[in-house]
């Protein structure tokens, strides 16, 4: 019992180690106490998915999804959550297996459109049912006091194509009076843009699932577990792209000779010169330069593999510079932490570098942390997908790309834990809402009025 308790205490210590500490800024009298920490959820990518579409008739398309803003409380009005117009959201793709995801890039940039104060209320509200919001534009859209529009741009080896502009992001799901038919708003928010690409940006249910509450209660486990992220939303950017637009030889999933893609999602903010010369402006319309503030390819890497002290540096660097962090992969601190807690050996089933950092197992000359997808592997229909993916013989899931259904927590535990952990898991095996089998593949977000926090 004592040992068990010690383990629990240690796990908290390890947690603290991994998350790091937060010196808060302080304030006394009159000097300027600017914030020392920027909570930055709008630049915080919670998940990145890439998979071959399993929507009927769309199997020759590749889907790219990033979720941002962790743990959105559905009722957090009146401002609700939005994409960040000061952030550049990108998907970056490597199609020639050189590890450099600079072959194709999609950039998504948002703008806020304040459409004025509602005349009946004489008060600015982001969303109000005067009349109910049934459209993103035109009649029925009057209640959208704040509307976000966005541009999607594709760069192919530097060649720029604006795929779509003035697209409208689907607003947060306020509730049935304000938005009586949210599904219809979602449908309106799916755009077919140039080159056969479809896009969606807007709020979704957070597809991630984990029984965190039981763990925090001193490992007070239960079966079945409760999805701690049930009832929380995220903001999602989803692209559905014909495979031939991504492959190096511009051929389809079946014909291409280079079916392996690598990719990561990133957020960036504007670079700034501290002191400007006379007449110098901060922004040129064409000459913007950006600094990457976060990247995400494989789940776990940023959070559980890279050490807290290196996270800023890691996030800012290009994935091709991964070699300098290789120690984290060859000597995973998860294993170290487990051994420190329990004194038991932890033996990953395989070399993490082979899965996460290279196209050719055993070849560690060039390392680049990308989510890799073999698009020649046929997609599996949603109903037949196995959340345990390759461990259960479903090769169309993580780490071959990643689908929303994939239980990456359990897969990672079993892979990193090794043979002793073949049945380990947290007893939460599915998202709280069923996943749809069509683009954008994530569920309708919880609405602010009806969501209550009584589980399950």
Alpha helix locations (H) across 176-258?
182-188, 212-216, 243-246
Choice from 130, 316, 390, 430 touching other proteins (CB under 8 A): 316
Choice from 56, 119, 273, 454 touching other proteins (CB under 8 A): 273
Q: Enumerate residues 333-392 that contact other proteins by CB under 8 A.
A: 334, 337-338, 341-342, 344, 346
Q: Which is nearer to other proteins, 168 or 210 (CB)?
A: 210
Helix, strand, or coil here: 166? Answer: strand
Name residue, tokens 């843009």.
193
Q: How far is the CB of 433 from other proteins (least distance, A)?
A: 17
Stretch that binds other proteins, among 158-166, 168-176, 242-250, 269-277 (CB under 8 A): 269-277
116: number of Cβ within 10 Å = 9
Task: Decide if residue 4 touches other proteins (CB under 8 A).
Answer: yes
Choice from 160, 165, 177, 276 touching other proteins (CB under 8 A): 276
Q: Which is nearer to other proteins, 160 or 276 (CB)?
A: 276
Choice from 51, 81, 89, 325 touching other proteins (CB under 8 A): 81
Q: Which is nearer to other proteins, 377 or 430 (CB)?
A: 430
Choice from 55, 58, 59, 85 touching other proteins (CB under 8 A): 85
d(CA 294, CA 308): 14
Q: Enumerate residues 111-170 that contact other proteins by CB under 8 A.
A: none
Which two three-digit tokens encode residue 150?
């966005």
Q: Which is nearer to other proteins, 54 or 329 (CB)?
A: 329
Choice from 140, 250, 421, 449 touching other proteins (CB under 8 A): 421
d(CA 191, CA 181): 18
Choice from 86, 195, 330, 455 touching other proteins (CB under 8 A): 86
Helix, strand, or coil here: 447? Answer: coil
Choice from 162, 187, 216, 453 touching other proteins (CB under 8 A): 216
Which two three-digit tokens encode residue 267?
């957020």
Nearest one of 298, 301, 297, 304 to 334, comparing CA atoms:
304
Q: Enumerate residues 15-34 that contact other proteins by CB under 8 A.
A: 15-34
Binding mask 159-198 for other proteins (x = CB under 8 A): ----------------------------------------
Cα–Cα distances (Å) from 444 to 11, 45, 52, 205, 274, in that order, read 35, 19, 21, 6, 43
Q: How far is the CB of 441 from other proteins (least distance, A)?
A: 20
d(CA 52, CA 147): 31
Cα–Cα distances (Å) from 60 to 52, 214, 342, 386, in that order, read 7, 41, 47, 21
Helix, strand, or coil here: 350? Answer: coil
């Amino acid at each position: 019992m004592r040992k068990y308790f010690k383990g629990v205490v240690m796990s908290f210590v390890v947690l603290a180690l991994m998350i790091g500490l937060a010196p808060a800024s302080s304030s006394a009298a009159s000097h300027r106490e600017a914030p020392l920490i920027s909570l930055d959820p709008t630049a915080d990518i919670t998940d990145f998915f890439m998979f071959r579409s399993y929507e009927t008739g769309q199997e020759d398309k590749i889907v790219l999804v990033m979720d941002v803003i962790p743990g959105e409380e559905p009722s957090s009005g009146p401002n609700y959550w939005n994409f960040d117009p000061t952030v550049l959201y990108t998907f970056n793709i490597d199609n020639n297996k050189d590890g450099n995801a600079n072959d194709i890039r999609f950039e998504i940039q948002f703008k806020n459109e304040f459409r004025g104060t509602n005349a009946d209320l004489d008060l600015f509200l982001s969303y109000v049912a005067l009349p109910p919001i049934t459209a993103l534009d035109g009649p029925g859209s009057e209640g959208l006091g704040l509307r976000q529009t966005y541009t999607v741009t594709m760069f192919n080896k530097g060649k720029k194509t604006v795929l779509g502009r003035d697209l409208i992001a689907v607003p947060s799901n306020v509730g049935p009076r304000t938005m009586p038919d949210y599904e219809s708003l979602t449908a309106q928010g799916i755009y077919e843009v140039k080159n056969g690409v479809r896009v969606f940006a807007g709020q979704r249910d957070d597809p991630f699932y984990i029984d965190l509450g039981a763990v925090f209660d001193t490992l007070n486990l239960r079966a079945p577990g409760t999805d701690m992220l049930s009832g929380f939303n995220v903001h999602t950017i989803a692209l559905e792209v014909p495979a031939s637009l991504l492959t190096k030889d511009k051929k389809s999933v079946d014909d291409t000779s280079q079916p392996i893609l690598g990719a990561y999602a990133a957020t960036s903010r504007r670079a700034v010169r501290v002191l400007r010369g006379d007449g110098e402006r901060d922004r040129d319309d064409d000459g913007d330069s950006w600094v990457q503030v976060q990247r995400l390819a494989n789940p776990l890497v940023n959070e559980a593999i890279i050490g807290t002290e290196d996270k800023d540096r890691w996030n800012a660097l290009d994935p091709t510079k991964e070699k300098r962090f290789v120690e984290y992969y060859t000597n995973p601190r998860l294993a170290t932490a487990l051994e420190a807690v329990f004194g038991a050996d932890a033996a990953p089933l395989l070399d993490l570098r082979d899965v996460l950092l290279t196209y050719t197992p055993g070849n560690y000359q060039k390392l680049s942390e990308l989510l890799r997808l073999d698009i020649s592997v046929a997609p599996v229909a949603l109903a037949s997908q196995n959340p345990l993916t390759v461990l259960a013989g479903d090769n169309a899931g993580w780490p071959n790309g990643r689908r929303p259904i994939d239980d990456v927590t359990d897969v990672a535990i079993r892979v990193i834990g090794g043979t002793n952990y073949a049945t380990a898991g947290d007893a939460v095996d599915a998202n709280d809402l069923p996943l749809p089998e069509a683009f954008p593949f994530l569920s309708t977000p919880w609405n602010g009025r009806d969501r209550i926090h009584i589980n399950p």
